[in-house]
Chain A
């Protein structure tokens, strides 16, 4: 196992050299105010057999989890996904390979509450819009998992055993803002990484070289500096390897990056103005500071986008959103629906939908003069599915905030591969060309999930309107209605026979 720990300090955070002391076996840090990324890489022979059994059937497996608490995605970790668990999966090339183990493993690792049976049933198939981007996954899954508690206890019980350093690392994931797992069949290695945007009291800990000696721990204490090229990120600071280096070495390097953070005032917020009814409207509000085009290279074309992750309880009408009617699009401040994947059935109730839901990539309109508008509202008309009856007459549907970003494409842009902090396979990045740069807007509320109250059939367990009552009432109404009509028909039939007879008598 290799570990890499990166601390990224904000430019205004104080740092003195006694906050990070390297000895031959340990690195001690003290009250370090910084964002942090921990990355552990496992070779395939270090992975538990039950995980390996699944991984060997995968060509690629990427898991992204993001917290529903607000966090700062600082450079170079600027990319975001909607709150919850996202799984991107491409099976291996062996035909007839069993994929069933994936859901079983996911439930073991992340918790039984995942609604996952098999990739064919529960996952959706993202569209391949950009053939230049080879890594679009075949299957994609989402669950609105709000904590990684399951993963923490899995690591503690199944992997760490009595290793206290391992347990501490697992424990720390509990407070992570995002967690990534990556596997691909080319490198045959599994990486697990956690990201923390800050630590309340600053980071203080002693990182020791592992007793076995084989494991390496790379440390970076970095800060972001102004890069020369707009597509680049420049970082400077100290680097070292615990157990190998006797002191931290100063460093300064720059690299092209696909993800960039925008200034702090480039924010957005998401709401569903009430009454939401069965047709809630998602409103994405952008202050004028969010509407300035990003500092992309001059030859790049930029457009504002939003990528929606909608659980199966809620959906958009793809025909409505694909409309090319300028009046409709203008009234919602939309430009176009760029991609849609997953469950788009317009009528099915939630209980008959087997997969998790749908993804929508929308290009958003921006005002021609951002300075003139106070707040720019983009609205997305959505619809709720019927949910199962409940005692109260209502059920809750949670909808994670979409991510909002500028995508800038340059014809002769840079390849983004040589970035030590590169992050791909986020669902939305695969819908653009490889040379696209993304500038993320910052969500501006403390919780990044909206709860909708969905009216459902109210079933009382006591009282007048129980299941039985509804059955009996309906059947009684139908039977009485039928009898009434039959009686009326009987009267007509009788009177016409009578008149027929009397006519015949008269005729005689």
Chain B
């Protein structure tokens, strides 16, 4: 088995072959069955691409809730014979993300390339991942953005990291949570790790103790030019992209890309623990407005506490925990969000405690339990909102939180 991972060509070849087979199979199913392999979202993207290719607005397509960049990127899908261009692009993003994962594993954990590739295969050869991107879901594109961000930070490509962070947040908002952990990780040992100086370490610690006494020193210590640069650059990238898109597409851009998430009124059942409460409050049947405070626990964990505690220990570990917390505590949660943290799985598995198969099993079991309730509602018309879906989503939340606890302990037990 190990010999396989010594031959990267074979692994990447297999991951490309897997996607190619699925692409051809998908094209065959689409051509021969009324039930399509292609995801409905892909039809939304390609419709939006058609609008922009005719110099229209991508938001002329209902439910297009993405940056116009995506529609532009997919303009070739409007050319005759290029319908699958986007799927190929998403599938290649997957493979690129896998390559970057392998690279980052080597640089972050000092793994041998073969071992790095072995863990990267959890992503590269994962049929679920290949299935999602070949059906035409854009999440793969987002994952490659996030993984390139990680790669860029680990390889000290600060300019690239700043650009990617700005672009990622413009693309899907949530990557902003990685900002704090990147800044914190850039602190301390990692800054010096490239020039190890074991002799001076003792003296350094003494100096540090001295400096810690003065809060102003602490602040100036934290605000290094490098950090100011990456912060400014990512904010500038984010703003420049938003301003240009706003100039081009005006209010519909803001509404669909960002404001929609604040004002959305469609609270169809989903995995989120808030789902039932949101249905109630949207239908005006509830007195309290607890759900408007939902961002407090979510952001407290994913933006503040997890980065502070974990970022210095392991940047990828912290990012995984952050993403996991962000998704578990989110007001809306659908299965595509799971991909956001699954991309970090190769960084967690190498040091996960032995519980991981059990964890995965529980996660799948309770997800299946929820899906069963969802099936009874959606297709058999049974009123399973309460207690079925309500309890299933709370239990699934419980399982998620329990897993998050284990991830935190595992990342926390890493020696800096």
Residue ranges of A at the interface with B (Cβ–Cβ < 8 Å)? 274-279, 319, 325, 327-328, 330-332, 344-349, 351-352, 386, 388-389, 392-394, 453-459, 464-465, 467, 470-471, 473-475, 477-479, 481-482, 484-486, 488-489, 491-493, 495-496, 504, 507
Give me 30 A-to-B residue pairs in the complex whose CB atoms sit less than 8 angstroms apart, sorted by A's number. Answer: A277-B378, A278-B381, A319-B44, A327-B33, A344-B62, A346-B62, A346-B63, A347-B63, A349-B283, A352-B265, A386-B279, A386-B283, A389-B279, A393-B383, A454-B381, A455-B381, A457-B279, A457-B386, A459-B285, A465-B390, A467-B286, A470-B386, A471-B277, A471-B287, A471-B290, A478-B273, A481-B297, A485-B408, A488-B408, A507-B205
- Min Cβ gap A202→B in Å is 46
Any A CB within 8 A of the CB of B384:
yes
Q: Which residue of A lies closest to B381 (CB)?
A: A277
- Min Cβ gap B173→A in Å is 19
- Min Cβ gap B416→A in Å is 8
Q: Which residue of B lies closest to A280 (CB)?
A: B381
**The 3 nearest A-B residue pairs measured at CB:** A492-B412, A393-B383, A347-B266
- Across the interface, B283 reaches (CB within 8 A) one of A275, A327, A351, namely A351
Q: Which residue of A lies closest to B305 (CB)?
A: A489
B398 touches A489 (CB 8 A): no
Q: Which residues from A are CB-within-8-Å of B283?
A: 349, 351, 386, 388-389, 457
A474 touches B34 (CB 8 A): no
- Across the interface, A345 reaches (CB within 8 A) one of B62, B380, B381, namely B62
Q: Which residues from B are CB-within-8-Å of A274?
A: 381
- A481 touching B397 in the complex, CB below 8 Å, given contacts A327-B34, A470-B276, A507-B202: yes
- Min Cβ gap A75→B in Å is 40
A328 touches B34 (CB 8 A): yes
The proximity string for B residues 27-48 relative to A, scoring 1 for CB distances below 8 Å and 0 otherwise, is 0000111101000000110010
B305 touches A330 (CB 8 A): no
Stretch at the interface among B231-239, B306-314, B335-343: B306-314
Any A CB within 8 A of the CB of B199:
no
- Min Cβ gap A478→B in Å is 6
B288 touches A471 (CB 8 A): yes
B398 touches A347 (CB 8 A): no
- Across the interface, A331 reaches (CB within 8 A) one of B34, B202, B328, B413, namely B34
Q: Which residue of B lies closest to A345 (CB)?
A: B62
- A456 touching B300 in the complex, CB below 8 Å, given contacts A386-B279, A470-B276, A492-B409: no
Q: Which residues from B are CB-within-8-Å of A478?
A: 273-274, 294, 297, 329, 397
B266 touches A481 (CB 8 A): no
Rounded to whole angstroms, the CA-CA distance of A394 and B384 in the bound complex is 10
Q: Which residues from A are CB-within-8-Å of B355?
A: none
Any A CB within 8 A of the CB of B362:
no
B297 touches A482 (CB 8 A): yes
Rounded to whole angstroms, the CA-CA distance of A493 and B402 in the bound complex is 18
A485 touches B401 (CB 8 A): yes
Rounded to whole angstroms, the CA-CA distance of A459 and B47 in the bound complex is 40
- Across the interface, B405 reaches (CB within 8 A) one of A386, A453, A485, A495, namely A485
- Min Cβ gap B162→A in Å is 28
Any A CB within 8 A of the CB of B249:
no
- A493 touching B405 in the complex, CB below 8 Å, given contacts A456-B383, A470-B390: no
B32 touches A453 (CB 8 A): no
Q: Which residue of B lies closest to A390 (CB)?
A: B383
A277 touches B380 (CB 8 A): yes
Q: Which of B257-282 contact A (CB under 8 A)?
A: 264-268, 273-274, 276-277, 279-280, 282
Q: Which residue of B lies closest to A332 (CB)?
A: B34
- A492 touching B383 in the complex, CB below 8 Å, given contacts A386-B279, A484-B401, A485-B301: no
Q: Which residues from B are CB-within-8-Å of A347?
A: 63, 264-266, 268
Any A CB within 8 A of the CB of B89:
no
A473 touches B390 (CB 8 A): yes
Any A CB within 8 A of the CB of B377:
yes
B: interface residue count bin? 35 or more
In terms of DSSP, what is the predominant structure of the interface of chain B? helix
Rounded to whole angstroms, the CA-CA distance of A504 and B201 in the bound complex is 11
- Across the interface, B380 reaches (CB within 8 A) one of A275, A389, A464, namely A275
B267 touches A456 (CB 8 A): no
Most chain A CB neighbours (cut-off 10 Å) among B274, B279, B305, B381: B381
- Across the interface, A275 reaches (CB within 8 A) one of B310, B381, B397, namely B381
A474 touches B394 (CB 8 A): yes
Q: Which residue of A lies closest to B282 (CB)?
A: A349
Most chain B CB neighbours (cut-off 10 Å) among A332, A453, A457: A457
Rounded to whole angstroms, the CA-CA distance of A493 and B411 in the bound complex is 11
Q: Which residue of B lies closest to A323 (CB)?
A: B43
A477 touches B394 (CB 8 A): yes
Q: Which residues from A are CB-within-8-Å of B305?
A: 486, 489
- Min Cβ gap B245→A in Å is 23
Any A CB within 8 A of the CB of B88:
no
Q: Which residues from B are CB-within-8-Å of A477?
A: 273, 394, 397-398
Q: Which residues from A are CB-within-8-Å of B285?
A: 388-389, 459, 467
- Min Cβ gap A89→B in Å is 26
Q: Which residues from A are CB-within-8-Å of B308?
A: 493
- Across the interface, B266 reaches (CB within 8 A) one of A328, A349, A475, namely A349
- A sample of 12 more A-B contacts (CB under 8 A), given A352-B282, A482-B301, A492-B411, is A279-B379, A349-B267, A389-B280, A393-B386, A456-B385, A459-B386, A467-B287, A478-B397, A488-B408, A493-B309, A507-B201, A507-B202
Any A CB within 8 A of the CB of B387:
yes
Any A CB within 8 A of the CB of B22:
no
Q: Which residue of A lies closest to B328 (CB)?
A: A481
Rounded to whole angstroms, the CA-CA distance of A478 and B398 in the bound complex is 9
- A471 touching B273 in the complex, CB below 8 Å, given contacts A345-B62, A456-B383, A492-B412: no
B412 touches A278 (CB 8 A): no
Q: Which residue of B lies closest to A317 (CB)?
A: B40
Q: Which residues from A are CB-within-8-Å of B402?
A: 484
- A457 touching B309 in the complex, CB below 8 Å, given contacts A277-B377, A328-B34, A492-B408: no
A489 touches B43 (CB 8 A): no
Q: Which residues from A are CB-within-8-Å of B288?
A: 471
- Min Cβ gap B323→A in Å is 14
B274 touches A455 (CB 8 A): no
Q: Which residues from A are CB-within-8-Å of B401?
A: 481, 484-485
Q: Which residues from A are CB-within-8-Å of B265?
A: 347-349, 352
Q: Which residues from A are CB-within-8-Å of B32?
A: 327
Q: Which residues from B are CB-within-8-Å of A456?
A: 383, 385
Q: Which residues from B are CB-within-8-Å of A331?
A: 34
Rounded to whole angstroms, the CA-CA distance of A237 and B286 in the bound complex is 67
- A489 touching B62 in the complex, CB below 8 Å, given contacts A389-B280, A457-B386, A465-B386: no
- Min Cβ gap B403→A in Å is 10
Q: Which residues from B are CB-within-8-Å of A319?
A: 43-44, 47, 62
Rounded to whole angstroms, the CA-CA distance of A491 and B416 in the bound complex is 16
Q: Which residue of A lies closest to B296 (CB)?
A: A482
B280 touches A457 (CB 8 A): yes
- Across the interface, B404 reaches (CB within 8 A) one of A346, A459, A473, A485, namely A485
Rounded to whole angstroms, the CA-CA distance of A438 and B283 in the bound complex is 43
- Across the interface, B384 reaches (CB within 8 A) one of A455, A485, A491, namely A455
